[in-house]
A = this chain, B = another copy of it.
Amino acid sequence: MKDHLKIVMIGAGRVATNLAREFVSQGLDVAEVWSHSRESAEGLAEQLRASVPDDTYDCRALWDNFEQVCCDADLYIVAVKDAVLSDVVQSLHDGRENALMVHTAGSMSTSVFTDIGHSRCGVFYPMQTFSKERAVDFTRVHLFIEATQRGDEILLNELACLLTRNVGFVHSSTPALRRRLHLAAVFACNFLNHCCTISTDILESAGLDFSALLPLVDETVAKLHVLPAREAQTGPAVRGDDNVIGMHLAMLTGRRDLQKIYSLLTKSIQDYDKL
């Protein structure tokens, strides 16, 4: 990797914040942070500056339009909501036609760049759930990268390897692979989390706290490290305890939404068990 890599972070949300913090902690130069919100841009830039004790590092905060964003960065990382990604890329392209730009979205292809004629592009997708409040251990994160040009793929790989040894390539011939990873992640992260939201709701309506269930949740996930999920399954659905299932559905009377989810997941557990 070239000695001084100048990176511009477009976005100051959860993914942008975590990536930028990690890059700076690895000694890389995140020279500018742009956000549509001035407060977010200044907050992240200040956080990055504060994380480096000496004054060899500076970071500019930029917002609103892209006029002030430098045109000579080695890498523009666009970490914004999927819904506005196309608009942001279109604006950023003007005046930076030959710059390397990547997005961080597991579900989007490189066509958001190539469709507007931006050819040096790629994806830098950390398959992880981020919060601004929690520092993620990047050495355990799986990073999936993709680039339209071979030289850029090498640069992204070197960058990714600074963060983790779990780097996966997704070549342009197999963009469906990354989308499939993202779909699987929706089940294993978002839907898994939602099961806990519902569980919390059921407990709180009886004045109980979800913390009582945390050891159970921890053990359930610890088992996934040593057993396939299907083999690890326990509970009334896989045991075929129809009386318990009926009682649970009766307890959810008045919550048609939860009854439907309970029935559908119970049936699915039983269908998978028969395979």
Instruction: Tell me the A residues contacting B by CB distance below 8 Å.
Output: 14, 81-83, 107-108, 127-131, 133-134, 136, 140-142, 166, 168, 176-177, 179-203, 205-206, 208, 210, 212-230, 232-241, 243-244, 247-248, 251-252, 257, 260-262, 264-265, 267-269, 271-272
Contact = CB atoms under 8 A, between A and B. Distances in A.
Q: How many copies of this chain are found per oligomer?
A: 2
B184 A203 contact: yes
Nearest to A252: B183
Q: Which of A83, A188, A222 has the most CB of B within 10 A?
A: A188
Nearest to A138: B215
A230 B240 CA distance: 30
A168 B207 CA distance: 14
A168 B215 CA distance: 14
Contacts of A166: 212, 215
Q: Which of A129, A141, A193, A233 has the most CB of B within 10 A?
A: A193
A212 B222 CA distance: 15
A202 B178 CA distance: 12
Given A213-B184, A229-B210, A192 B220 contact: yes
A180 B195 contact: no
B213 A200 contact: no
Given A129-B232, A187-B198, A210-B229, 17 more contacts: A127-B216, A131-B223, A131-B227, A140-B218, A142-B215, A166-B212, A168-B212, A177-B208, A179-B251, A180-B203, A181-B213, A184-B199, A185-B199, A188-B196, A188-B213, A199-B229, A214-B225
Given A81-B239, A243-B82, A265-B261, A208 B187 contact: no
Contacts of A142: 212-213, 215-216
A259 to B, nearest CB: 11
Contacts of A251: 179-180, 183
